[in-house]
Structure formats: C-alpha cells, structure tokens
Amino acid sequence: MRNFASVDKLLEDERIKPLHLILSRPICADVIRTVLAALRTETDEDTSYNYDAIVAKCLTALQIKIKRPLQKIINASGTILHTNLGRSPLSKELWRQAEFLNTNHINLEYHINQQKRGGRAGFVNELLCKLTGAEAALVVNNNAAAIYLILKTLAGEGQVIISRGELVQIGGGFRIPDIMAEAGSRLVEVGTTNITTVDDYIHAITEHTKLLLKVHSSNFKIRGFTSSPSIKELRAALPSHIPLVYDEGAGVLEAGLSEDISIKQALKEGADLVCFSGDKFLGSVQAGIIVGKKAYIDRLAGHPLMRAFRCGKVILSLLEASLIDKLNDSERPIGYAAQLLAIKPTKVKAQAERLAKALPVGLAEVIEADVEVGGGSLPDEFYPSYAVAINCKVSLKVNQLVTALHNLPVPILGRVAEDRLLIYLLTIKEEDMDYAAEALVKILGKKDE
C-alpha cells in the first residue's frame, strides 16, 4: 500500500472529522478510499505523497460530496414555488409547534374524549372543511395520490370522461392518461383540444360511466378560440349518480389571484370532490387534500389503499398548525406565494437598487422582470417585479458565475438569461438579503474595484 495514509487516520484528521456530521462517517470513508485509489493508479511506485497534500485532495472530493445532503438554498430564481426547491418554505413558528408534538407521544389515532382508537387526522379534516366550506375532507401524501385514490375508489374499471384539452402532464412524468390506466379506469376523451361542450360530455355517458374528471391545466394555457363548460353547467346536466371531480391542483381557495376556478367556487358550483396540493398556493406541507361530499369522502377513507397513502404525524401536525394559523389570520393572504405577491413592487425595486449599488459599476443594473408562481400552479401568469441583471460579458462568464454561486456555503440560484444572470429579489427571503449581497460582492468585486 506504499506510504499513503490510512483511511482511518484520514477520517480522524481534524480537518475531515467535522464532515462526519454532514455526510456520515462511512460516506466520508468511501470518498477517501476513492481518492486514495485514484492516487495509487496515477503515481509511480516510488512517488511519496505528502500527508497534507492527500488531506487536501480528500477535502476537495468531500467538498463536492457535501452538496448532496439536503441543505438550504437561496431562491433568487423569480419562481416562488419552485418544485426543485421544495415549493413553499414553512413558518418557523409552526415548525416549533410541530417539534413539540413530534418529540412526544400524541393522539394521532386516539380519540381522547371517547377513550378509544379514533380516525387519523380527524381535526385536520374539520379545519379543512372550515377553510373550504366543504362537507368533508381527507388528506393523503400528495395530489397525485389523491387523484389515484379517487379514480381507484370511485371509477375502478369503469369509464372516466375527460376533455381532450385536459389530458395533461404535470411536472416530472405525472400524466393523467397514465394514472388512469394505472388505476384500471377506462379513459373516455371527449371534445377537442380547444373546445369541449356540455353535450360532448353528456353524449359520452354510458352505463359504464363512473366519473367525470375536470383537470386544471396547471402549467400551460390554451388561448384564443377556446371554451369548456363551467362546473355548474356540467353538474346540472350530469345524472346525479355520476360524481364530478375537479383536480384543482394549485390550492387557490378563492377567486382573485387568477381567472381559473378556485376551490370554493368549484364546491359551490357543485363539484362533488375537489383535490389539490398542500404545498402550492396553500403554502403548507406536501400533501394531497380532497374536499367535498361526505358520501364520497367516506368511500375514499374506507379504501384499503388509504393505508398506503395516509400521512404521518410530522405532516399532519404541521398541516394542522398551518390550517389553524390560516383560519385565524384574516389580515394576510393565505400561503407563502400570495404573501410574496402582496409585497409592493416599489419595495422590491429599492432592494434591487441597494444590491446593484454595492456591485461594480457597469456590471449590474436593475431591470423590470416578472416573477411567476411556479410549481404548476398558475400557468402563464406573471407578476411585475424587479431583478438585478448581472452582465457577464464584462468579467467572468455567466456559467462561471452560476458555478461560483452554487459553490457558496449557502448556494444561490438565479436565472440565466443569455449572457446575463438575473437575481430576483422577491423570492430571496428577507433574512438572506445581506448574505446574498455579500456573496455577490465577494465574487464580483466591490463597487470601486
């Protein structure tokens, strides 16, 4: 083995040891072994390696590995609910409440008043009914699971009618036709991509029809000569035994933020079930929330798959705390995205100007730049805001700047626009502004340099 230091000795080196906490000791050992193996193949029999040089090589390899564990990222991308960045951050206060519950035993499935086993998430469901005006509610792991459970329970091998304009793909590989096939249901497409009428739906009904599904086109918009019936029109025309299900997806409670049908509106117009994500507009945890008629919710809750889709105590405790907070706080808009969108653009402009002023003259300028909600929530809707555009033709190349920002102890994610990097101020958390500014100054140089 020549004169290389041993893996054990390197693992215990005071420069490497702190990384055990971040990567775990065995993973650090793997990285060190790989470095040593590479050194062995590339050095001659008689080359001797200085110990510190080996440590340095190990540290370089470990510094790459260290970007793998879950860690904080500063979102300067202008996309508020970035699915790659965990969508909505949670409030620290709610987190602390959940900490107490999760580090103790709790009544997750125990009914204290009745002194016996009780249903999971009983109170969360009650809160969801208050929030949406629904008769009943149910929570599963995510909205994809919600749709699957609905199809499996209510449609089974029967037919599901859906407009051709709503056979969508959401995010990485979640396709409505695929999920339907997976549930065993038979897809009956009606209408065309741009126009679907009430009659298209009604004429497709047979004795095998089990469900009518409407899906929010979360990540695209069809514009121009386009129309589809409202939920009200559909419910009025549909036989009462066929449930009308609306996959709202985005979690927009009330009309206002977009022209699309909100959850409350869909329920009011007669949707039998509405499902949506907990971590999009609602700004809570990853969850699939189903609200609507009690008779249907009871069937979903009783399906054997519910055991596979039920949420754990971490999710339910956080969801419960955030729902109470939303019900009590009538001052602020509901959810992280709506709260950010309520910030005055002039405030964001001032922040952008402050940042631009700290950077070398000619390198950075404040520009008008729209932000988007993202996370497959409100498609094609952009909100006026400001960004600092860093002109990368002048000094380092845009990809070098991007890499430097990724390599920071807390990486910063901007948006590349040709040879400029845009730093959106709105999506950076207030407490991270100084860090982001200092990091950029460090990389790009100060104003007068």
Q: Which is nearer to ligand PLP, 163 or 351 (CB)?
A: 163
Are the CB atoms for 275 and 290 separated by under 8 Å?
Answer: yes
Report, in Å, the least distance between residue 287 CB and ligand PLP: 7
Report, in Å, the least distance between residue 128 CB and ligand PLP: 15
Residue given tokens 């001052």 in the structure block:
331
Residue 277 CA to residue 444 CA, distance in Å, equals: 40
Q: What is the DSSP code (8-state) at residue 165?
A: G
Q: Which is nearer to ligand PLP, 215 or 297 (CB)?
A: 215
Q: Which is nearer to ligand PLP, 236 or 308 (CB)?
A: 308
- Which positions ≥6 away from 334 have C-beta within 8 Å? 253, 281, 282, 283, 326
Neighbouring CB atoms inside 10 A of 378's CB total: 27
Q: Which is nearer to ligand PLP, 288 or 414 (CB)?
A: 288
Are the CB atoms for 154 and 285 separated by under 8 Å?
Answer: no
Report, in Å, the least distance between residue 185 CB and ligand PLP: 16
User: Reduced to 3 states, what is the DSSP secondary structure of residue 372?
Assistant: strand
Question: Which tokens belong to 250?
Answer: 């985005």
Report, in Å, the least distance between residue 308 CB and ligand PLP: 15
Residue 278 CA to residue 288 CA, distance in Å, equals: 6
In Å, what is the CA distance from 219 to each residue of 43, 168, 170, 377?
A: 53, 9, 7, 7
Q: Which is nearer to ligand PLP, 196 or 277 (CB)?
A: 277
Report, in Å, the least distance between residue 144 CB and ligand PLP: 4
Residue nearest to ligand PLP (CB): 249
Which positions lie near ligand PLP, rule CB under 6 A?
A: 142-144, 170, 174, 215-216, 218, 247, 249-250, 277, 288, 376
**What's the gap between Cα 24 and its chain centre?**
27
Report, in Å, the least distance between residue 182 CB and ligand PLP: 14
Report, in Å, the least distance between residue 45 CB and ligand PLP: 56
Q: Which is nearer to ligand PLP, 243 or 288 (CB)?
A: 288
Question: Which tokens belong to 32?
Answer: 């060190």
Q: Which is nearer to ligand PLP, 120 or 214 (CB)?
A: 214
Residue 199 CA to residue 192 CA, distance in Å, equals: 12
